[in-house]
Amino acid sequence: MASQNYTTLQAKIQKEIEKLRKQSKVLQSKRRKPVIASIVRSMKEYDISPDEIVAAFGKAPAARTKPSVAAKPAKSGVAKKPVPPKYRHPESGATWTGRGKAPLWVVEAEKNGKQRQQFLIQA
């Protein structure tokens, strides 16, 4: 078997990816057609106009886009206060607020049988 260089393999993979993308689009199109036909039948059956559908969505017709993640509410302008650290590593002095993912030094200590409370910062 002849050896292929990186560029040749990369081009071959990109060609395969493009082929699969096209197959995906065809499959999606085939699956969408009956759904659209069903929607149109229901609209005719219940005398629903396209304008009523647009109004139900609450927006003007626009180019088809992928669904977006729900927008975050506008910030009220109040600055977040930093959270004081709750835990401290006795040797390195590294701290952790206790929020979010535990740092490696906490995870390792717990694996070695230590309790998280041993690292609490005394007020």
pLDDT at 53: 84
Instruction: Look at residue 65 and tell me if it is in a domain.
Output: no
The answer to whether position 95 is within a domain reads yes
Cα distances (angstroms) measured from residue 30 to each of 27, 38, 43, 49, 64: 5, 14, 21, 25, 18
Secondary structure E strands in the chain: 87-88, 95-96
**β-pairing verdict for 87-88 and 95-96:** antiparallel
Q: What is the mean pLDDT of residues 48-61?
A: 78
List CB contacts of 105: < 8 A, sequence separation 6 or more.
89, 92, 94
Q: Which band of pLDDT confidence, cut at 50, 70 and 90, is reported for residue 1? A: very low
pLDDT digits (tens, 9 = 90+) for 90-109: 888 899 999 999 999 999 99
The residue range of the domain holding 48 is 7-57
Question: Which is higher by pLDDT, 72 or 34?
Answer: 34
Answer whether residue 94 is part of any domain: yes
CA pair distance 101, 79, nearest whole angstrom: 23
**How many domains does the structure of the chain reveal?**
2
pLDDT of 21 higher than 50: yes
